């Protein structure tokens, strides 16, 4: 396929681009580096089937030619980044999504939207199935991201129903792995950075809030299976193994330095109390479920952070 991938320099986008290239597809990546990393583009540049366009998809998609698939992954995704750039986050969810949908419409391409578990907000239903409409604060600190993705889903379904665009929507739950930004600001990178520096691990609140963590390779496999399906509605892709944040801190501590202290800080505003995907639909529809254990995935991620800066990423081979 000829694939247009927005957000190709991001954490998930770069792994997805790598997988597409390895399967023989031609990938045009688009990113403006608001939260993506130039090193993620550089590791792909040597591949003969990859080309890159630096652009803000909210302002348009300055690309030539036709595409078989348009995958929209452009957006800040961590609270520090989208709270630093709230307007840009809303715009890439609105105008950026529309520009990507228009390109898919013109080309007759399949369109896949990267949505998020944040559309469920601070959920009152647990675990969260795709049929749950969520419990989101529309004016809170996190609303720029939550509502951008909710609007993007609505726009995607409108283009499917009104214009006949062949759409897919993946609702991504907490994902971790190599190539995360060191300043990502989410719990995985925070704990790993603190532990490697020999500092206490900071747990917000009492640590009883829960998250479910999936390794990036599992996510990419789910995305590829969804892309190959014919299902137009949202599909949860996440790991249903649920941990309290305190339990997760203890896992990181045991993995890196069992002698580290765990300290507590005030809970951030609108931080969800629980998050766990119901992946029944993904299992039934895609035959997908996560394969990488938490310990195995964390070992790979810690090894990356230990080596980060010591040597550049290995380029993707043709």
Q: pLDDT tens digits, residue range 99-120? A: 999 999 999 999 999 999 999 9
Single pTM value for the model: 0.94
User: Residue 318: what pLDDT?
Assistant: 36
Query: Tell me, what's the pLDDT at 268?
Result: 81
pLDDT at 315: 38
Q: What is the 3-state secondary structure (H, E, C) of the chain?
A: CEEEEECCCCHHHHHHHHHHHHCCCEEEEEECCCCCCHHHHHHHHCCCCEEEEECCCCCCCCCCCCCCEEEECCCCCCHHHHHHCHHHHHHHHHHHHHHHHHHHHHHCCEEEEEEEHHHHECCCCCCECCCCCCECCCCCCCHHHHHHHHHHHHHHHHHHHHHCCEEEEEEECCEECCCCCCCCCCHHHHHHHHHHCCCCEEEECCCCCEEECEEHHHHHHHHHHHHHCCCCCEEEECCCCEEEHHHHHHHHHHHHCCCCCEEEECCCCCCCCCCCECCHHHHHHHCCCCCCCHHHHHHHHHHHHHHECCECCCCCCC
Q: What is the pLDDT of residue 19?
A: 98
Nearest CA to 216 out of 238, 245, 235 is that of: 238
Please state the domain extents for the chain: 2-177+214-238+276-291
Residue 312 is predicted with a pLDDT of 38
| 145-204 pLDDT, tens digit each | 999 999 999 999 999 999 999 999 999 999 999 999 888 888 999 999 999 999 999 999
Return averaged pLDDT per consecutive 10 residues of the chain, 318 residues in all: 98 98 98 95 96 98 97 92 94 98 98 97 95 95 95 98 98 95 87 93 93 96 98 98 94 95 88 90 98 96 78 38
2-177+214-238+276-291 belongs to CATH 3.40.50.720: yes
Give yes or no: 145 in active site.
yes
**Active site residue: 120, 145, 159, 243, which one?**
145
């Amino acid at each position: 396929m000829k694939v247009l991938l927005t957000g190709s320099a991001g954490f998930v986008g770069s792994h997805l681009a790598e997988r597409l290239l390895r399967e023989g597809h031609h990938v045009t990546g688009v990113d403006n580096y608001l939260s993506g990393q130039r090193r993620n583009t550089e590791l792909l540049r040597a591949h003969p089937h990859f080309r890159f366009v630096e652009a803000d998809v909210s302002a348009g998609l300055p690309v030539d030619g036709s595409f078989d698939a348009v995958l929209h992954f452009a957006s800040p995704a961590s609270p520090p980044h989208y709270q630093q750039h709230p307007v840009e986050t809303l715009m890439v969810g609105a105008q950026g999504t529309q520009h990507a949908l228009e390109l898919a419409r013109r080309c007759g391409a399949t369109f896949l939207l990267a949505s998020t578990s944040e559309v469920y907000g601070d959920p009152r239903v647990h675990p969260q199935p795709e049929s749950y409409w969520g419990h989101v604060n529309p004016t809170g600190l996190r609303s720029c991201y939550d509502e951008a993705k909710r609007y993007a889903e609505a726009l995607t379904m409108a283009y499917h129903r009104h214009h006949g665009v062949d759409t897919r929507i993946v609702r991504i739950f907490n994902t971790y792995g190599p190539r995360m930004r060191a300043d990502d600001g989410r719990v995985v990178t925070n704990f790993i950075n603190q532990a490697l520096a020999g500092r206490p691990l900071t747990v917000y609140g009492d640590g009883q809030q829960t998250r479910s963590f999936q390794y990036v390779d599992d996510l990419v496999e789910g995305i590829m299976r969804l892309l190959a399906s014919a299902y137009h509605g949202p599909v949860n892709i996440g790991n249903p193994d649920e941990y309290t944040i305190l339990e997760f801190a203890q896992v990181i501590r045991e993995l890196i330095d069992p002698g580290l202290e765990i300290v507590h800080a005030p809970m951030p505003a609108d931080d969800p109390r629980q998050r766990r995907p119901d992946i029944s639909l993904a299992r039934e529809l895609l035959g997908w479920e996560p394969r990488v254990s938490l310990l195995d995935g964390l070992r790979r991620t810690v090894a990356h952070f230990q080596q980060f800066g010591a040597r550049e990423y290995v380029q993707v081979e043709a």
